[in-house]
C-alpha cells in the first residue's frame, strides 16, 4: 500500500508545484488512514457479530435452566439437581442444533458455514455426553410415584413407564444419530439418504424429549416450563420446516435451466444454468449455493457447490464440479434444458467490501471454483486491486481453465512434475508462498484460501508466521472435521 502511494506521489510531483504536492500527500495520507480504519471496522463488525451470536446461543441454551431455577421447587440433593440440570441443558442444546444446521444466512454467512457446522458438531457431542450422564445421576433417588405430602416432587422421581419410555427411546436414538453423523464419510450412504435419516431422527428425538421433559421432568411439568419447552421445540421444528418446505416452495417460482455441461478436465465439469423467467440470483463472487438438478424442488437431492462465474458476467451461473460422490459422478449425463433449483447464496468467502490493496487467492484442486469467481469478477470490473493466484493440483492434466487463468500473476503448482513444465513443482507450502509474496504483501493483502484441509492448515499457519493478521485470512473448508 505504501509503495503504491509513494509511486503516485512521485508521478504527481512532476506536474505540480510544492504546495500542491504537500496538499496531495496530506490527502492521500488521510485516504490511507481511512482505508486502515475501514479494514479494522469490517474486522471488528465481524467479531462483534460472532460475539453476539455466541451470547445469543448461550442465552437460548440456558434459558430453560434459568427459568427452571426461578419457577421450580426447592432444591434437592446435589446429584439429583445435576441430573436434572444436565437433562435440561442437553435438551436445549439439541433444540438449538436445528438452528445451527447451516441453512440460515443470518447465522452462517458472516462467520462461515464451516465454522457453523463445526460448532453444530461439537455441541451435539457435548449434548450427547450430558444426556448419557442424565439418568445415572438419579441413582439412589426413591421412586414409586408421587407422595401426597411431596407436592413439589422433592423426594422422588417418576417410575411411570409411559413417561420414561419416550426418554429411553430418545436415549437410544441420540447416540445413533451422532455416531452416524461422525461416521458418515466412512459409511457408504448416499448423501440424501443420510440427510433424510439425520433430519427425521432429529425430529423424532425432539418430539420424544418434549414428551419426556414435560411428563417425567420435575421442572418441565411446571406450566411455565411446559410453555417454554413447547415454544422452543416449535421454533426448532419450525426451522426444519422452513428449510425443507418453505424454502423449496419459494424456490419453485424461481426455476433455472441447465444451458451447458462442459468437461474441463478428466474429472472436472463446468455446469452452467440460466434463470428461467426471473432476474437471477443476487450473489457475491466466491459464494456458494445448494444446487438441485432435475429433481422436485422438495427433493433432498441437492448439494452445495461454489459459484465459479462472476456476478458481473450476467445472470447465468457456472459451477466447477469435481467427480467425487454419487451425484457428481453423473454430472456428464445432465442434458441442457434440464430444470434446476438454487438455494442461496451462502458463504463468507467474498472480497467485495474489502479495502486491502491486493488480493491473494490460494486454491487447491477444485477449491479453485470460488476463487475463480473472485478472479473473474475482479478482471471483469477492472478492479484496481492487485491480485495473485496460486493454484495447486496433483498433475498438469488436472489444471482447469489454464488458458483463461493466463500466465500473469498466476502460479501453477503440480505435485507430479511432467517432462515439460515451467511452473512450480511440489505442494503449496511456506517456501513457495515466500517465493510468491513479499513481506509487504503478507502484511497488507487479504488472503483467500480454499482447498484440502492439509493445504489450508499449512498456508494459514505460514501466513500467521509471516505476520498476516487473522482478519485478513478468509477461508472455506470442504470438510468440517
Contact residues: other proteins, CB under 8 A: 50, 54, 57-58, 61-62, 65-66, 68-69, 75, 78, 81-82, 85-86, 89, 112, 115, 118-119, 122-123, 126, 457, 460-461, 464, 469-471, 473, 475
Nearer to other proteins, 68 or 303 (CB): 68
Nearest approach, Cβ of residue 45 and other proteins (Å): 16
Q: Give the Cα separation of 123 and 119 in Å (integer).
A: 6
Q: Please report the sign of the dihedral spanned by the C-alpha atoms of residue 356, residue 114, residue 375, residue 417.
A: positive
Give the nearer residue to other proteins in terms of CB position, either 322 or 354: 354
Sequence-distant (6+) residues with CB within 8 A of 179 are none
Nearer to other proteins by C-beta: 368 or 463? 463
Nearer residue to other proteins within complex by CB, 50 or 165:
50
The neighbour count for residue 470, using CB atoms within 10 Å, is: 9
CA gap 281, 288 in Å, rounded:
11
276-301 residues labelled b (16+ CB within 10 A) or e (exposed) = eeeebbebbbbbbbbbbbeeebeebb
Matching residue, cell 441453512: 103
Minimal distance in Å, beta carbon 120 to other proteins? 11
Question: Please, what is the minimum distance in Å from the beta carbon of residue 64 to other proteins?
Answer: 10
Q: Rounded to an integer, what distance in angstroms lies between the CA atom of residue 274 and that of residue 479?
A: 29
Residue 10 Cβ vs other proteins, minimum distance, rounded to whole Å: 33
Q: Which is nearer to other proteins, 85 or 199 (CB)?
A: 85
Pairing of strands 288-293, 473-477: unpaired
Q: Which is nearer to other proteins, 15 or 470 (CB)?
A: 470
- Minimum gap (Å) between residue 82 Cβ and other proteins: 5
CA dihedral 138, 140, 141, 147 (to 10 degrees): 150
CB of 18 to other proteins, least distance (A): 40
**Shortest approach of other proteins to residue 460 CB, angstroms?**
5
Whichever of 108 and 166 has its CB closer to other proteins, that residue is 108
CB of 434 to other proteins, least distance (A): 18
Contact between residue 6 and residue 28 where contact means Cβ atoms under 8 Å apart: no
Output 258 or 458, the one with its CB closest to other proteins.
458
Least gap, CB of 85 to other proteins (angstroms): 5
Measured from the CB atom, the residue of 65 and 132 that comes closer to other proteins is: 65
- Dihedral of CA atoms 289, 294, 295, 300 in degrees, nearest 10, equals -40
Burial string for 98-115 (b: 16+ CB within 10 Å, else e) reads bbbbbbbeebbbbbbbbb
- How deeply is 189 buried, as exposed, middle or buried, from its count of CB atoms within 10 A (0-12, 13-18, 19+)? middle
The DSSP code sequence of 130-188 is HHHHHHHTTTT---SS--TT-TT--S-----HHHHHHHHHHHHHHHHHHHHHHTTTTTT
Amino acid at each position: 500500500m505504501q509503495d503504491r502511494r509513494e509511486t503516485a506521489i512521485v508521478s504527481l510531483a512532476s506536474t505540480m508545484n510544492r504546495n500542491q504536492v504537500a496538499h496531495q500527500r496530506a490527502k492521500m495520507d488521510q485516504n490511507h488512514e481511512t482505508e486502515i480504519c475501514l479494514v479494522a471496522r469490517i474486522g471488528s463488525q465481524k467479531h462483534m457479530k460472532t460475539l453476539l451470536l455466541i451470547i445469543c446461543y448461550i442465552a437460548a441454551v440456558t434459558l430453560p435452566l434459568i427459568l427452571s431455577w426461578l419457577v421450580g421447587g426447592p432444591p434437592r440433593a446435589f446429584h439429583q439437581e445435576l441430573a436434572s440440570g444436565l437433562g435440561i441443558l442437553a435438551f436445549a442444546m439439541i433444540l438449538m442444533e436445528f438452528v445451527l444446521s447451516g441453512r440460515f444466512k443470518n447465522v452462517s454467512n458472516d462467520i462461515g458455514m464451516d465454522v457453523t457446522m463445526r460448532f453444530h458438531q461439537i455441541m451435539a457431542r457435548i449434548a450427547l455426553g450430558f444426556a448419557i450422564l442424565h439418568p445415572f445421576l438419579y441413582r439412589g433417588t426413591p421412586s414409586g410415584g408421587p407422595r401426597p405430602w411431596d407436592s413439589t416432587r422433592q423426594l422422588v422421581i417418576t417410575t411411570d413407564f409411559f413417561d420414561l419410555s419416550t426418554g429411553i427411546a430418545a436415549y437410544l436414538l441420540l447416540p445413533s444419530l451422532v455416531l452416524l453423523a461422525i461416521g458418515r464419510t466412512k459409511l457408504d450412504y448416499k448423501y440424501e439418504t443420510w440427510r433424510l435419516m439425520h433430519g427425521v431422527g432429529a425430529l423424532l428425538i425432539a418430539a420424544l424429549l418434549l414428551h419426556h421433559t414435560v411428563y417425567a421432568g420435575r421442572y418441565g411439568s411446571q406450566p411455565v416450563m411446559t410453555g417454554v419447552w413447547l415454544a422452543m421445540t416449535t421454533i426448532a421444528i419450525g426451522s426444519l420446516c422452513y428449510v425443507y418446505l418453505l424454502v423449496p416452495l419459494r424456490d419453485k417460482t424461481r426455476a433455472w435451466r441447465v444451458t451447458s455441461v462442459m468437461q474441463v478436465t478428466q474429472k472436472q465439469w463446468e455446469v452452467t444454468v440460466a434463470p428461467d423467467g426471473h432476474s437471477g440470483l443476487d450473489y457475491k463472487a466466491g459464494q456458494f449455493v445448494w444446487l438441485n438438478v432435475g429433481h422436485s424442488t422438495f427433493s433432498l437431492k441437492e448439494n452445495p457447490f461454489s459459484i465459479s462465474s462472476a456476478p458481473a458476467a450476467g445472470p447465468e451461473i457456472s459451477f466447477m464440479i469435481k467427480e467425487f460422490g454419487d451425484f457428481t459422478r453423473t454430472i456428464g449425463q445432465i442434458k441442457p434444458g434440464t430444470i434446476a433449483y438454487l438455494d442461496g447464496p451462502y458463504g463468507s468467502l467474498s472480497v467485495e467490501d474489502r479495502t486491502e490493496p491486493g488480493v491473494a487467492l490460494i486454491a487447491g484442486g477444485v477449491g479453485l471454483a470460488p476463487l475463480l469467481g473472485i478472479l473473474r469478477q475482479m478482471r471483469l470490473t477492472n478492479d484496481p486491486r492487485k491480485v495473485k493466484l496460486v493454484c495447486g493440483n496433483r498433475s498438469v492434466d488436472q489444471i482447469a481453465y489454464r488458458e483463461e487463468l493466463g500466465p500473469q500473476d498466476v502460479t501453477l503448482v503440480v505435485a507430479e512434475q511432467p517432462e515439460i513444465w515451467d511452473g512450480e513443482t511440489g505442494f503449496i507450502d511456506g517456501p513457495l508462498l515466500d517465493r510468491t509474496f513479499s513481506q509487504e504483501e503478507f502484511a497488507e493483502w487479504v488472503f483467500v484460501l480454499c482447498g484440502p484441509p492439509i493445504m489450508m492448515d499449512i498456508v494459514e499457519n505460514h501466513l500467521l508466521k509471516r505476520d498476516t493478521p487473522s482478519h485478513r485470512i478468509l477461508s472455506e473448508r470442504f470438510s468440517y472435521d
